[in-house]
Structure 1
Amino acid sequence: MGEQGTVKPCKHFNPERDAGLLYGNLRGLASDSSYSAIINILSKRSSAQRVEILFGYHAMYGRDLIQDIKSGLSGDFQQTAASMLLTPAEYDATSLYKALKGLKIEARVLVEILLTRSAEEIKCMKESYSVKYHRSLETDIEQSCSGNLKTFLLKIVAEVRDGDETRTSADISKRDATVLKEISHANLSPDCDIQKKISSEFHGEFKDALKSQLKVIESKPQFFVEKLYRSMKGVGTDDETLMRIIITRCEVDLRDIKTSFQATHGKSLSKFIEGDTSGSYRKLLLAIVDQ
């Protein structure tokens, strides 16, 4: 768990008590206090603690908490709450599957997840993917993607090996042009401007993927700042991106992301969320962000 996360483990955690509160409040949703109780529990427990609540709920009531949330809640609030009860690996695996198997490949989602997770995290998400979908992540990338983008993504996934937990998937420097050399066969000197090289020699989703890799190398928080800003600017909200980043970074580096967001846009992340969301969905996101 990162020191720069906003969500920390509850010190006086009691999974059976939390399971009981959720059970009762999911059956009394006519009152605002019920929604507030659900938000308070989900936003103030670590991912590991939320999983304990999930198991406790089933042991006590013989029911699936995620299914009860899907039945009792609705909209983006429901989706956010249900996603928070998945392990990080399960949530990433689910997001990757949706990005690969939708009507259109969502390359930006694939790149975001695979470039910003550690080797150990990728190893775990691959295992979760295999268990949940009975197929390998590599196989689906191979079948759904094409060209340089497919090669790029497969290279990231293939580089993850047992005992390599400390290396991140984007652990290269600007002076290390190995990826570009292997994929494009470009003759790059150590001191060349890789950003300009990418812009001049590549196009489409692969160019975006390479640019994202450089941004992650330069500053992972700033990479997420840009994605969060784009998810909320203009008309409408990219809620999938907004909730995915808030949920997956809230125990890692969301404090750093908030600081960078304020410095970049002169307005807090919370203010942007307030202006772009509503209802219990807004309250849950803000409860996670503002801790």
Structure 2
Amino acid sequence: MSCAGQITLDNTICDGAEFDVEKDVRVFVENLKHIGGDNRAIIEVVASRTRSQRLEIARKYKERQGRSLVEILISRSNSQIKEIRDLYMKTYDHDVDDLIRRKTRGEFCDMLLMLAEPSRDESDEVPMDLLRRDVKALKRAVRKGGAIQYYAFNEVFCKKNFAYIRALFELYKQNSERDIYRDIRLYFAGYMKSALKAIAEYAVSPTGYFAHRLYRSMKGLGTDDNTLTRIIVTRSEVDMEQIKKIFKEKYKHSLESYIVGDTSFSYRHLLLKLVSSSKTLFESVNQVKHDGAILSSTEIAETYSF
């Protein structure tokens, strides 16, 4: 097989410039989430990627699943986490912690176990003496690395209230002329880096975080229906109007227009109703048209045919 820029012998697969790990991961997400997925699409990806590319796809896929769990845990109150734990035990006859230990390992496992405990401070208190101490502890931990680094960050990111975490980010930057995001990128990797970034983004702006997650769930090839549905269902009772406002500001089109472009039939109808509860379905579709989305007669008929 001829591979541009590579010396080859008898190989049938080589690194291709067209490799897009996010696109390939989306293929797996789309076709592994339910029975009857397109096995041919999965086979096409697996059979046309090199070993190193397959490993990258596997790593990204697992990272994505881990990020979803982190998202669920950081966006629930202590009482909601307790309800989840109780219901899980009642349904499966074993503890959530057992599941986490089976499915994950290392520092990421430790983080999930801490997040799964209903023990985060839910006040808005920001004691400055404790804040200064934690900033010093994080900076010292980054220099030392290893277990100390992971423990120090977990203690802050998994246990402190979000007002405290936002204030810590500001003081961290003032004291070192670099923000904490940079150090997360430099000194963490894999699941831990992804999880810490998610917690940091959520702490700074929950509505901005969810707007970005909704955008990512519909951007590119296919739709991440699990993420799309979970966020819309859970945030429709909390802050959906603010999420929609930020979504429009950041991505120049309404959330409704993205939903119409990526979904169909009853599923589209349900999502539009959830994000536009104060509007009639007719008003929602008119809003999509106003945003510049081009709806075919078939799409309009599908939307109203529920």
TM category (shorter chain) comes to 0.5 to 0.7
1:41 matched residue in structure 2: none
Q: Secondary structure at the match of 2:116?
A: helix
* TM-score using structure 1 length: 0.57
1:242 matched residue in structure 2: 228
Amino acid at match of 2:249: A
Deviation digits for residues 195-222 of structure 1 (CA, Å, limit 9, x no counterpart): 1111111111110000111101100011
2:56 matched residue in structure 1: none
- Which stretches of structure 1, 4 residues or longer, exceed 6 Å deviation after superposition? none
Residue 179 to residue 287, structure 1, CA distance change in 2 (3 Å)? farther
What displacement does 1:184 show? Answer: 4.4
1:279 matched residue in structure 2: 265
Residue 210 to residue 183, structure 1, CA distance change in 2 (3 Å)? farther
| Structure whose CA Rg is larger | 2
* Match 1:259 to one of 231, 235, 245: 245
* Match 1:131 to one of 90, 93, 114: 90
**Counterparts of residues 99-248 of structure 1 (less than 5 Å):** 106-158=65-117, 160-161=118-119, 166=122, 176=134, 181=141, 184-186=147-149, 190=172, 191-192=175-176, 193-248=179-234
What displacement does 1:183 show? Answer: 7.6
Deviation digits for residues 66-102 of structure 1 (CA, Å, limit 9, x no counterpart): xxxxxxxxx99xxxxxxxxxxxxxxxxxxxxxxxxxx
* TM-score using structure 2 length: 0.54
What displacement does 1:156 show? Answer: 1.7
Aligned identity (percent) is 37
**Which structure carries more relative contact order (alpha carbon 8 Å, separation 6+)?**
1
**How many angstroms apart in 2 are the aligned matches of 1:263 and 1:272?**
14
5+ long unaligned stretches in structure 1:
1-74, 77-102
Residue 179 to residue 138, structure 1, CA distance change in 2 (3 Å)? farther
**How many angstroms apart in 2 are the aligned matches of 1:205 and 1:140?**
17
**How many angstroms apart in 1 are the aligned matches of 2:187 and 2:180?**
10
**How many angstroms apart in 1 are the aligned matches of 2:102 and 2:265?**
40
**Counterparts of residues 77-88 of structure 1 (less than 5 Å):** none
What displacement does 1:157 show? Answer: 2.0
Q: Secondary structure at the match of 1:185?
A: helix
What displacement does 1:166 show? Answer: 3.6
